[in-house]
Amino acid sequence: MINGLLNLYKPSGMSSAQAVGKVKKIFGPLGQKTVGHMGTLDPMAEGVLLVGVGKAARLFNYLAGHKKQYIAKFTFGYETDTLDKLGATVHTTSDIPSIDAVEHAMQSIVGTIEQIPPAYSAKHVDGNRAYDLARRGKVVELNPVTVHIYDTEIVCQPRMNEIVVKIDCSSGTYIRSICRDVGRMCGSLATLEYLQRTRVGSFCVENAVTLENLDILKENALIPTHSVIDLPRYDVPAELKSDLDNGRKIQFSSPGEYKIFCADELYGIGSEVNGVLKIITYLKD
């Protein structure tokens, strides 16, 4: 059975769900239809999208929370309802901030901040997706969420009203909201014109595989499941393999989580529960 993690380069103009659908079509004829992504990337955005294939799709809780890095272009002078260039313009201004003002605003958000997500987002409001309510003309009020901005850097200024920035941030950060907030902090308005996710944890854009190349490489593009789990390894003695295979209790007293191997085969992620080994995420074929 085919299992592993895919560092996919999602193109702009395609939703994360559509990208997963493309991957399913490639691996389906090879006998694997279980595919899931590890953190949504907006349709307008391009770049790194981690995709789990087979048992690796169970690693969402271990990979979705990784630190992320983006390259974004903010265009000042207008704001849209979606906070990106795909939306309808709702406000304009002739006040364009200086690069120094933008840099000061960007530096001021470094650290732990409270951020209000965009109305057009996948957040749930009374059981509905926020973007579904917004598209129906409903007023969407979202609660602030706590995110962490590790670092910001101005990359260049292509035009007087455009700034390209690099942002290192925690999972759950909306770059569209940063763009909105920086524009307003500078006494202006701003809209996200371009977004590329360049890194998720240790997975970078330079090593990402396009859908076109994936169609050629297929399973050869997958990263082995055991190598993407950043946990210490624990090897169950080979003489206990039958117990492990049949769910019998194995004494275990080490605190924390481990990659559990036996006979050099990955069984999953395990931890100690009441003095015995518990496989909490089963990854064995």
Which whole-number Å values give the CA distances from 136 to 11, 84, 91, 121, in the listed order? 27, 18, 20, 14
* Cα maximum dimension of the chain: 75
Asked whether the beta carbons of 41 and 9 are under 8 A apart, the reply is no
Which of 42, 84, 168, 181 is catalytic? The answer is 42
Of 237, 285, 227, 211, residue with least CA distance to 259: 227
- Distance (Å, whole) CA 283 – CA 266: 7
C-alpha 203/C-alpha 56 separation (Å) is: 15
Q: How far is CA 273 from CA 239, 257, 259, in A?
A: 21, 11, 15
DSSP 234: E
The answer to whether the CB of 179 falls within 8 A of the CB of 190 is yes
Write the CA distances from 185 to 51, 76, 144, 228, integer angstroms: 36, 12, 17, 39
Q: Annotated catalytic, 42?
A: yes
CA-based nearest residue to 121, from 110, 133, 130? 130
d(CA 209, CA 203): 11
Kindly give the interhelix angle for 99-108 and 175-185, rounded to the nearest 10 degrees.
Answer: 120
Q: Which residue has the tokens 């003002």?
A: 101
* Residues known to be catalytic: 42
